């Protein structure tokens, strides 16, 4: 895409989230050099790549956490990169769920508090918020852990609480950055099972950053990020144009 030429709006039903020629640097270090990615509704896409390839930066741009230096980020037909910080922040609270590798639970709060928190921030009544939190904790097999603080949970349990917190608002997109990175492979796969099952049941789109092929294998498809550019080798291989 040529810089400065306005892009046509995505066709309805096209990508739910989309990056178009996104460029993002940190100081003088370029992280993304024209990244393109389109993720459809209800699709689970793994973004793979070596350390430092730009895959996490891409996720942060798609989620409106980072603003791209150049290029466009679309969410449901709207330019996310042109929204105000307030509007992006509101979207992150109401439409996006996040699961990261570390440090996402507030340690002073119980599991139920942590899961209810996004609803409380969205002005849902306390009683309803805690009821919903209880439903999601039970759904993720933590019905008896609502009163525990994060320090009293195993790594896998804490990550399931984080997943419940991401799902409780009924997000349209879940952004997961190495969600099993701190877990052993067995526990990690159990978390992935829950993430995929619940996303499919709710029709939630998932953008999953991982360097782990076993985790990526839970997704519907994968793309590779290398040196800040996205390559979809499934399409390259299918076209056999080389």
State which of positions 189-208 bind another protein (CB under 8 A): 193
Using rule CB under 8 A, residue 127 touches another protein: no
Binding piece for another protein, criterion CB under 8 A, among 52-60, 88-96, 104-112, 214-222: 214-222
Size of the site for another protein (CB under 8 A): 18
Is 121 among the residues that bind another protein (CB under 8 A)?
no
52 near another protein, rule: CB under 8 A = no
Scanning 29-37, 121-129, 143-151, 227-235 for contacts with another protein by CB under 8 A, the matching segment is 227-235
Under rule CB under 8 A, residue 214 binds another protein: yes
9 or 213: CB nearest another protein: 213
Q: Is 231 in the site for another protein (CB under 8 A)?
A: yes
Residue 98 binds to another protein (criterion: CB under 8 A): no
Q: Three-class SS string for the chain?
A: CCCCCCCCCCCCCCEEEEEEEEEEEECCEEEEEEEEEEEECCCEEEEECCCCCCHHHHHHHHCCCCCCCEEEEEECCEEHHHCCHHHHHHHHHHCEEEECCCCCCCCCCEHHHHHHHHHHHCCCCHHHHHHHHHHHHHHCCCCCCCCCEHHHCCHHHHHHHHHHHHHCCCCCEEEEECCCCCCCHHHHHHHHHHHHHHHHHHCCEEEEECCCHHHHCCCCEEEEEECCEEECHHHHHHHCCC
Q: Any contact of residue 213 with another protein (CB under 8 A)?
A: yes
Contact pick of 140, 183, 219, 230 for another protein (by CB under 8 A): 219
Rg of the chain's alpha carbons, rounded to an integer?
18
> Per rule CB under 8 A, is residue 224 in the interface with another protein?
yes
Nearest residue (CB) to another protein, 98 versus 218: 218
Interface with another protein by CB under 8 A: which residues? Answer: 50, 193, 213-214, 216-220, 222, 224, 231, 233-234, 236-237, 240, 242
């Amino acid at each position: 895409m040529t810089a400065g030429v306005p892009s046509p709006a995505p066709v309805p039903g096209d990508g739910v989230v989309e990056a178009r020629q996104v460029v993002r640097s940190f100081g003088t270090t370029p992280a993304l050099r024209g990244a393109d990615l389109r993720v459809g509704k209800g699709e689970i896409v793994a973004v793979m790549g070596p350390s430092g390839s730009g895959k996490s930066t891409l996720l942060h741009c798609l989620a409106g956490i980072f603003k791209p230096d150049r290029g466009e980020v679309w969410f449901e037909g709207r330019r996310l990169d042109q929204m105000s910080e307030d509007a992006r922040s509101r979207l992150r609270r109401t439409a996006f769920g996040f699961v990261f590798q570390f440090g996402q639970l507030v340690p002073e709060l119980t599991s139920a508090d942590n899961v209810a928190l996004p609803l409380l921030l969205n002005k849902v009544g306390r009683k309803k918020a805690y009821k919903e939190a209880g439903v999601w904790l039970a759904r993720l097999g933590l019905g008896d852990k609502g009163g525990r603080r994060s320090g009293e949970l195993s790594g896998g349990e804490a990550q399931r609480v984080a997943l419940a917190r991401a799902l409780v608002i009924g997000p349209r997109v879940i952004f997961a950055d190495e969600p099993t990175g701190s877990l052993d492979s067995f526990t990690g796969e159990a978390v992935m099972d829950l993430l995929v099952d619940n996303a499919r049941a709710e029709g939630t789109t998932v953008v999953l950053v991982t360097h782990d092929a076993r985790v990526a294998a839970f997704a519907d498809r994968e793309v590779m990020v290398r040196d800040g550019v996205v390559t979809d080798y499934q399409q390259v291989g299918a076209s056999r144009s080389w």
